[in-house]
Structure 1
């Protein structure tokens, strides 16, 4: 006999607040979820795959509306495979762009951390401050390091 899962079971499995699952349902992301005779949501094991995908798309920045579009395409069956593929390819490119930006930002953070961890950190930072002060003075601009 197949097992049914409560919203609490699903929340624990995916480490989500129950309110998030209810919100997803309200936004139309869970059309595959059934309700029991008492009106409570009940989940089957196959629902977990959809929820995993929803979490993946949400975690990678896809807007709720686009996730809903994707789920609606899934509910229409095999006739929407090309549309789903296109939607996911577009999202993949967005994720890759975000990943590139994060990698560039991480390099900058690591550069700063290396500088601050250096035995010569005081001299390096002092030299940078002197450069900025000289540049601002030469350009007749406010010195941001002046304290009042």
Structure 2
């Protein structure tokens, strides 16, 4: 696949994919004889993984470390797992905070809705 096809498939810009490759988030992609990137299924798997992790808010630095360790082979399995566990814990905490914020927003919205309902009732009484 070309970079434009991959960009379209994963709803990313070609510049973002080039950046991810340049900083080591995506392992080097093979190129055709004319120098055009030729993404394999494996390369696309990396793009999808990085997009998912970034979408969840994982920092680029943690992902760079993870990919670098992955490229070193099986001797880094525990270190890679440690990165993922740490990031999962950070994400779980953020999700808790977001859930609390959502609940607070719902309470505020309910408060406004109650006020609007009360105002409508007062208007109805005036019309009667």
Which TM-score band (shorter chain)?
0.7 to 0.9
Aligned position for 2:63: 67
Query: Shift in Å at residue 120 of structure 1?
Result: 2.6
User: Separation in 1 of the partners of 2:108 and 2:37?
Assistant: 50
User: Separation in 2 of the partners of 1:7 and 1:22?
Assistant: 8
Q: Provide the secondary structure at the position in 2 that maps to 1:120.
A: helix
Aligned position for 1:26: 22
Query: Shift in Å at residue 117 of structure 1?
Result: 1.3
User: Separation in 2 of the partners of 1:120 and 1:79?
Assistant: 66
Higher relative contact order (CA 8 A, sep 6+): 2
Aligned position for 2:12: 16
Structure showing greater radius of gyration is: 1
* Structure 1 consecutive aligned stretches of length 4 or more whose deviation exceeds 4 Å: none
- Give the structure-1-normalised TM-score: 0.74
Tell me which moved more, 84-93 or 64-73.
Answer: 64-73
User: Separation in 1 of the partners of 2:21 and 2:70?
Assistant: 16
